[in-house]
Amino acid sequence: MSIPVAYVLLLSFGVFCMGACGFLLRKNALSLLICLELMLSAVNIAFVTFARLHENEGGNILYFLVITVAACESAVGLAILLNFFRIKRSIRLDDATALGVEQ
C-alpha cells in the first residue's frame, strides 16, 4: 500500500508555504536562512515524488543537485551573516539597508 501522490504534494506545498511565509515575516536573519532551507526541502519532496510517479530518475538526480546547492548557499549565507554581525552587532535584516535609496 502506498501513500497517494496528492498527499505528498500537499505536504510539500504546506512546507513550502511555511518557508515562504516565514521568509516574509521573520526578522531574524538566521530564521530566514532556515526558511530558505525549508522551501528548498519542500521542492525536493516534490521532485522525489514526481520521480516515483513517472518512474524517471531525473527527479532524484535533481534532489542531489538542490541539496548540494542548498548546503553551499547556507554556508555562504552564514559567513555573510557572521561578518554582518561583526560590523553591526545585530542580525536583524532590517538593519541591512545599505543598498537601498537613502531615506
Partner 1 sequence: MTESLNVLAALTVLIPLTGSLLWFWVSPKFGEKTAGTGAVLFMLGSFLAMSALFFQVGEPVRILFFEWFALTKTQSVNFSFLLDPLSLALGMIVTGVGTLIHLYAAGYMHGDKSFGRFFSYLNLFVFSMLMLILSDSLVGIFLGWEGVGLCSYLLISFWFTDEANANAGKKAFIVNRVGDLGFLVAMFSLFKAFGTVSIPELLTLINSGAISADQLFWTQFACWGLVLGAAGKSAQIPLYVWLPDAMAGPTPVSALIHAATMVTAGVYLVCRLQPLFMLHGQILEVLAFIGGFTAFFAATIAIFQNDIKKVLAYSTISQLGYMFLAVGLNAPVAAYFHLITHAFFKALLFLGAGSVIHGLHHEQDMRHMGGLRTKMPITFWTMTIGVLAIAGVPPLAGFVSKDELLHIVSGSHRSWAIFFAFATAFMTAFYMGRLWVMTFFGKFRGHHEAHESPWRMTSVLIVLAIGSAIAGFLNWPILWGGSGSLHHYLGSVVAQAEFPTSTEAFASSIKLAIGSSLIGLLGLGLAYWRYRDFKGKEFEGAVWNPVKNKYYIDEIYQSLIVENLKRVGDFFWKVIDGRILDGFLNGIASRAGGASLQLRKLQTGLTQQYAFWVWVGVLILIVGAFSVR
* Chain residues that interact with partner 1, rule: CB under 8 A: 20, 23-24, 32, 93-94, 96-101, 103
- Sign of the alpha-carbon torsion through 71, 72, 75, 81: negative
The answer to whether the CB of 33 falls within 8 A of the CB of 78 is: yes
Q: How far is the CB of 64 from partner 1 (least distance, A)?
A: 25
Between 54 and 92, whose beta carbon lies closer to partner 1?
Answer: 92
Question: What is the nearest approach in angstroms of partner 1 to the Cβ of residue 30?
Answer: 14
Shortest Å, Cβ 60 to partner 1: 26
User: 96 Cβ partners below 8 Å, 6+ apart?
Assistant: 29, 84, 88
Shortest CB 1 distance to partner 1, Å: 33
Q: What dihedral angle (degrees, nearest 10) is formed by the CA atoms of 64, 43, 79, 32?
A: -160
Closer residue to partner 1, CB minimum distance, 68 or 97: 97
